[in-house]
Amino acid sequence: MPGIEELAAAVQHNCDLADAVHAQDLSLCTYLLQMREFFRWERGLPLDRLPDRAEVGRWIAMREAHWESLAGQADSHFDSLPIDGGVDAFDEVAANARLDPHGLVYAAGLARFRRPEFVLAERLDSQTREGASIVVTGREHARGLNPPMATSRGDQVLVRRDVLRRWLGTRLELSQQRPSAEGLCAAADAWQVGDDREAALDRIAAAETETLILHELGERRAAALLGPQWEHMLESLDDHRSELVARAIRDLLADCESTLPTLLERDERASIHFWFANLEGMRGLLAPELRAGYLRWRSAAPGAPGASAALADAVQAQREHWLAQARALLAAWHEAAAPGAVAFSEALVAAARVESPPG
């Protein structure tokens, strides 16, 4: 078993190889935000400290030069991990068999758009729910530029609290910069964020870890409803927009199946506000009825008779709607392969834009 520094360096090298190819997949705005947070993570800076712009700019230039030097290697080959003479970079089982006694977790797989993703982190918690083995990690020793907050593969669910915490920090910044942000300030008020931002982030991250777990459990339920052909369809799509639509449909199904009903049942108002504050992008475009139900719930006084029941009914209706849409997308794919799925996705987005014109 190597030292943590040697292992972390090997995992980070593979992260860098993946980023050398896939960093360009991000929009410019997302890229710059992620680079700022990547800088903060690498330097170990607290989240309530704004990094120096000039220093970040120099660091970005060096990082991009490093990626350019790696780009020729593409992402088809990743180095073995220095464990027991060499463990394949994607062999999570073998790696974790050795790392588990040391309180470490290794994860490797393909994220959206088939981007390779690696992480080496410290384990915070583990539990079993609905037949899934759930692991929550904390401090990360190696990571990529644009890490997911949570992932599910088979019976394994991984929730990365450090990634969640950093993302929450950016959302709290936004609530201060945009006091009119729908839902976001309501969530911040419900969380009672005071002057000690670091302590507030710890508390909020602990609460929102549960929301992520509920979503991943919803993903597993959605997978059972849709069958293995859903993943086959995703793998066949080489159109980013269509993949975004497909993932948004299943995300909405998962949250209407698990996340939102559970949060409403528990009356977790801050988490409900926060979920709807982040109903944006493709999911927000496709689900105006869900947002309308939330706005009615939000306008009612806390504990008002029937308010939560009405939102729960809206969520249930949306659950049926997105299950039907997911199955219709699968039917289009079965009938005409990837072009059929692309045509269905384009029609769905076009109809949503007619219903929700800009402005």
| Residues 6+ away with beta carbon under 8 Å from 78 | 14, 17, 18, 89, 90, 116, 118
Average pLDDT, the chain: 91
Encode pLDDT of 2-34 as tens digits: 689 999 999 999 999 999 999 988 889 989 999
Quickly tell me which residue has 């463990």 as its tokens: 87
- Contact between 222 and 254 (Cβ < 8 Å): yes
Q: Cα 169–212–28 angle (5° rounding)? A: 50
Residue 359 has pLDDT above 50, yes or no: no
| Residue 135 DSSP label | E
Q: Cα 291–252–244 angle (5° rounding)? A: 110
Beta-bridged to residue 132, according to DSSP, are 129
Classify strands 132-142 and 116-129 as parallel, antiparallel or unpaired. antiparallel
Encode pLDDT of 290-329 as tens digits: 999 999 999 887 777 788 899 999 999 999 999 999 999 9
225: which 2 tokens?
């409803």
HEC readout, 103-122: CEEEEEEECHHHCEEEEEEE
Quickly tell me which residue has 């009612």 as its tokens: 300
Mean pLDDT for the stretch of residues 81-106: 95
Encode pLDDT of 139-184 as tens digits: 999 999 999 999 999 899 999 999 999 999 888 877 776 655 567 7
| Residues 6+ away with beta carbon under 8 Å from 99 | 83, 105, 106
Higher pLDDT, 85 or 333: 333
